[in-house]
Amino acid sequence: MAKVTAATFTKVKPKKKCCRKSTRCAVCPVVLHRLGKMDAHEFSNKQFTKALKKARAA
């Protein structure tokens, strides 16, 4: 799994296909789309960690 932070969020390339597991990986296209909708690139590292956890949980 790639290390995704608030600073590198916009540069991360998503996987080709969604894994559809109950806890999605950090580079899943669905997770990156959800983070983009939250404007996660403006978050601090602590806020980004919470947002990433929420985006992966669904």
Q: Are 52 and 44 in contact (CB under 8 A)?
A: no
> Considering the chain, what is the average pLDDT of its residues?
87
CA–CA distance, 36 with 33 (Å, rounded to integer): 5
Residue 58 has pLDDT above 80, yes or no: no
CA–CA distance from 4 to each of 35, 41, 56 (Å)? Answer: 11, 11, 12
Q: Are 9 and 33 in contact (CB under 8 A)?
A: no
Q: Sign of dihedral through CA atoms 26, 31, 33, 34? A: negative
pTM of the model: 0.82
Residue 3 has pLDDT above 60, yes or no: yes
